[in-house]
Amino acid sequence: MSTLDTALDQYLSHLLVEKGLSDNTLSSYGRDLRDFSAFLAGEGVEDPAIVDTAHILKHLIGLRNKGLSARSRARHLVAVRGFFRFLAAEKLIEKDPARLVDLPKSGLTLPDVITLSEMEKLLDTPDDKTPLGVRDRAMLELGYAAGLRVSELVGVLSADLNLAAGFVRVMGKGDKERLVPIGEPASEKISEYLEYSRPRLASGRLSPHLFLGQGGRKLTRQAFWKRLSAWAKKADLGKKVTPHTLRHSFASHMLEGGADIRVVQEMLGHVDIATTQIYTHVARERLKSAHRKFHPRP
């Protein structure tokens, strides 16, 4: 086994044991890094210490010539960056050759977000006179307040919630746990749901899950997606809104408000800050849009 292969195995083991990545994510990283390793072998490179920036750029050009989309090439680069960052941190290489390689710009597809006013309109749409409406409002508030994935939102347990402290415990990808603040508006709507709506939906059945469907069953991701789509249509936002739109908007609005990207990374549960950095592009695009709209000489 070459020095490069040994280093790759060390890194993948680090991602599994220390970072707790999910099987799918780990498989994706491994596949991309094996492709990179095969490219380096073709270049006669078996030691990561002699890899330089030119090797990485040549690999990316090769991927482009093979027809890989910019987004796929960006994913490859994220894997390669993480690998060399790990080697540099472990003092296995003197300097990181991937540090100055930028992501393919067209590969950074900006996530769908809605404006703050659109979000407030959406949050105000559910009917607070029905058990399902109260539940949906609480779910929208929590999803937006904590930037949750839809699987995390429907998977929240009643025991995960601490309304007095204003936190929710979230079990994210790779079974990594994080604590996220939720704020007063979300706490108030969740309290209303717990007092008024949940007992009616439970129908006498016991369930550890916070959000319930009819008959006390756990709410599915598909069911919430369907309800959200209906509320977005009723709010007349004029755009498609998915559960991930709440998460994307949370991150974008936090960064626009001045939050540190490391803080947003922690709340989103991103292992690699490169994943979070895409939201800085959203904020920059909005700044440029505002400048073009309002500056007398755009």
Q: What is the CATH number of the domain that holds 61?
A: 1.10.150.130
**Rg of the chain in Å (alpha carbons):** 22
Q: Is the pLDDT of residue 35 over 90?
A: yes
Alpha-carbon gap, residue 38 to 76, rounded angstroms: 13
Q: What pLDDT band is residue 283 in, cutting at 50, 70 and 90?
A: low
Mean pLDDT of 190-210: 94
pLDDT of 116 above 50: yes
* pLDDT of 81 higher than 70: yes
pLDDT score, position 70: 79
pLDDT at 295: 47
Q: Is residue 120 part of a domain?
A: yes
Listed residues 102, 127, 148: the one ending a domain: 102
pLDDT of residue 200: 94
Residues 24 and 122 in one domain: no
| Residues 80, 161 within the same domain | no
79 and 215 inside one domain: no
- Residue 103 pLDDT grade (very low, low, confident, very high; cuts 50, 70, 90): low
CATH (domain of 148): 1.10.443.10
Quick one: which of 276, 250, 251 has its CA closest to 103? 276
Q: Is 270 a catalytic residue?
A: yes
Question: What would the mean pLDDT of 271-278 be, rounded to a whole number?
Answer: 66
Q: Which residue has the higher pLDDT, 12 or 23?
A: 12
Domain boundary among 102, 136, 160: 102
Q: Are residues 162 and 265 in the same domain?
A: yes
Give me the pLDDT at residue 269, please. Answer: 83
Would you call 81 a catalytic residue per the annotation? no
Q: Both 26 and 130 in a single domain?
A: no
Mean pLDDT of 184-203: 95
Task: Give the pair of three-digit tokens for residue 195.
Answer: 């007092």
- Is 29 annotated as catalytic? no
pLDDT digits (tens, 9 = 90+) for 140-189: 999 999 999 999 999 999 999 999 999 999 988 777 889 999 989 999 99
To the nearest whole number, what is the mean pLDDT of the chain?
Answer: 85
Is the same domain home to 138 and 230? yes
pLDDT at residue 16 in the model: 82
Q: Are residues 144 and 88 in the same domain?
A: no
Which candidate, 151, 176, 171, 147, places its Cα nearest to that of 15?
176
Q: Mark whether 93 and 237 lie in a shared domain.
A: no
Considering the domain architecture, whether residues 32 and 75 belong to the same structural domain is answered as yes
Q: At what angle do helices 70-89 and 53-65 cross, to 10 degrees?
A: 160
Stated pTM of the model: 0.62
Residue 284: predicted pLDDT: 57
Distance CA 133, CA 30 (A): 44
Asked if residue 189 belongs to a domain, the reply is yes
33 in a domain, yes or no? yes
Q: Could you tell me if residue 94 is inside a domain? A: yes
d(CA 220, CA 243): 12
Same domain, yes or no, for 134 and 227?
A: yes
pLDDT digits (tens, 9 = 90+) for 211-234: 999 889 999 999 999 999 999 999
Residue-number span of the structural domain to which 197 is assigned? 116-290
For residue 296, being part of any structural domain is answered with no
Is the same domain home to 76 and 220?
A: no
Q: Which of 173, 200, 221, 281 is catalytic?
A: 173
Residue 162's SS3 state is strand
Say which of 76, 81, 198, 247 is annotated catalytic: 247
Instruction: Choose one of 80, 102, 124: the last residue of a domain.
Output: 102
| 137: annotated active-site residue | no
Residue 295 placed within a domain: no
Residues 149 and 251 placed together within one structural domain of the fold: yes
Whole-number pLDDT of residue 292:
66
Residue corresponding to tokens 């990181």 = 96
Residue of 218, 244, 281, 286 with catalytic role: 244
**Is 200 marked active-site?**
no
Tell me whether residue 37 is in a domain.
yes
Q: Is 64 a catalytic residue?
A: no
Position 110 in a domain: no
- Counted domains in the chain: 2
